[in-house]
Amino acid sequence: MSTVIKASNLVQGYGKTIVLKQVNLEIKKGEILALIGPSGSGKTTLINSIMGMINPQKGEVTLLDTRMPNRKILSNIGFMAQTDALYWTMTARENLAFFGIMQGVPKKQLKKRISYAAAVVNLEPSLNKQVQYFSGGMKRRLSLAIALVADPQILILDEPTVGIDPELRQQIWKELHHLASEGKTILLTTHVMNDAWEADNLFLIRKGEAIAQGTPRTLIKKYEVQTIEEVFLKAGRLQDAHTSND
């Protein structure tokens, strides 16, 4: 499989504060990778770097063999931010149409793509409802639908299942696996350990450093524990021990 997203020796920060330290990440076509780490670990900075929102201080990031930042590549990305960026006085359908057109969906395909994206997140009955009357969970579902509406090659999803009930979560994951099987590349962040088990590979980040990478089962076996949470805790202790010895 060809590499779609790659970060090589990435160092990132703001002023004298280093946020990411020599991060190396590779995601292949058709792969789902879950980025896991606590608040302040560098997840958002890594995503911003991959999206080309900030220039690397050192190292490089490439998407589809193109060095980032590059505006032309953004049309290949479906992005779901952690904070919902929606037009509250517009209906869900109008939001999907607006963002679909912005992402280059041909007008002839727009109705079909809106129906598909709304169906994935169970928003069909609420398409004509103004977003200001949506619950928090419905807004998250609409944000995910917007990421899907243009049928992008790459999906970058920040906490996609927060505020979503277990049944819908299973439906979303079924669709994500289907999209991956069709060759879509998916990067998501999560605090939900059940989501981690759904991913092909995990990338655990703490204090701006990658502390573990691999499939869920491989990491469980390597660290001789029972859960992904225990993997993270054990890898974190090893990181602290290594830092104290330096």
Tens-place pLDDT, residues 205-221: 999 999 999 999 999 99
**Conformational region of residue 6, where left means phi above 0, alpha means psi within -120 to 50, and beta covers everything else:** beta
Strand order in the sheet with 154-158: 77-80, 154-158, 185-189, 32-36, 201-206, 209-214
Question: What mean pLDDT is reported for the chain?
Answer: 93
pLDDT (0 to 100) of residue 162: 81
Say whether pLDDT at 1 is over 70: no
Span 189-210, mean pLDDT? 92
Pairing of strands 77-80, 66-67: unpaired
Architecture of domain 3-245: 3-Layer(aba) Sandwich (3.40)
How many angstroms separate the CA atoms of 148 and 163, rounded?
A: 18
Residues in the chain: 246
Select, from the ranges 15-19, 170-174, 205-209, the one with the highest average predicted confidence (pLDDT). 205-209
Contact 30, 184 (CB under 8 A): yes
Produce one character per residue of 23-60: b if its CB has 16 or more CB atoms within 10 Å, e if not. Answer: bebbbebbbbbbbbbeeebbbbbbbebbbbebebeebe
How many angstroms separate the CA atoms of 29 and 32, rounded?
A: 9
pLDDT (0 to 100) of residue 194: 85
For tokens 């879950």, the residue is 34
Span 154-168, mean pLDDT? 89
Which stretches of 103-227 are DSSP H helices? 107-120, 136-148, 166-181, 193-198, 216-223
What's 70's DSSP letter?
A: -
The amino acid sitting at 104 is: G
Span 62-90, mean pLDDT? 92
